[in-house]
Structure 1
């Protein structure tokens, strides 16, 4: 009995390892396909979407699903990406300006700006799994990412920890960048975020104008 369980567990783990390696390679290739600038966000959304679906059903045509999502979400995901990059650039120049200025009043905004940047980065981590799991407009994706982040500190902590762990492992083993860096991180973020989604759906919580019940199946 124990031997059968171990065999099943080993098969499941090895199967996921192969799937995550394939997804990571597709993520890199499709990012390059869009010349990185236009390919990164649709490829990342496709990666999160495939992983989200795989967590709900064991078998899935990975390449076909990835390519289908990439095409369908190409424009919308790049629109979202443009907004994210724009905000990030604004934060960067604001921070640079405050660091370089000799105005003591403006320097008072340094730490509040750091806090805002941190919150923004945490929201980004929720943006991708929300986009992949729910059929929402871009504004509602951002709004719910912020609200879920605030409402679920344990899940947020788990996501932060996952990012740090993957970053440290990648520093010591750069070779995993090709096969697992993005996909494993996406899997860990999706797992933590999915727990938050489940709690919200069970409590039937309504975040403002939109309820998180429009799941992509």
Structure 2
């Protein structure tokens, strides 16, 4: 999906050179850098550039990703890629959704966030534990042009958390067809099936 509609000729190609990853989350930056390896890009993070984190006022993953990408491109004068992603739990009406990081509090403590999700599910003992991750990517240029892509992966939630790999809610997310959580999965294997990997494959096909 492109910000310019679905016609392939409308998609702007990304040229080799510097690309800002509009995130201060080291785990997310590392994962994105791995997905972009071999594309001729010099990846730098918003944290490396001391760029401020804009307030995420959007009501969808795509809106928040675009907001972050535009802000980073404007301030850096470079193309910027932003990811807005989160966990959506069916029995919680899609929460935490776009507020996934905020459920961790000011310190973005995901152990706290995972516990909060589990507490809410425990209050509904018969509720299904189905959940999915969404990843929206927005690629913005300093002139205001934006392309966006959205990926998804479905699974169920486990408790207690399993594994120390990955980041965020990965230790409680069991993807469909697997017996290990994202938190137990090596990064290359996770990228093959993850919401972020899905969105990146769409982006790579479109802009490179």
- TM over 0.5, yes or no? no
* Greater strand content: 2
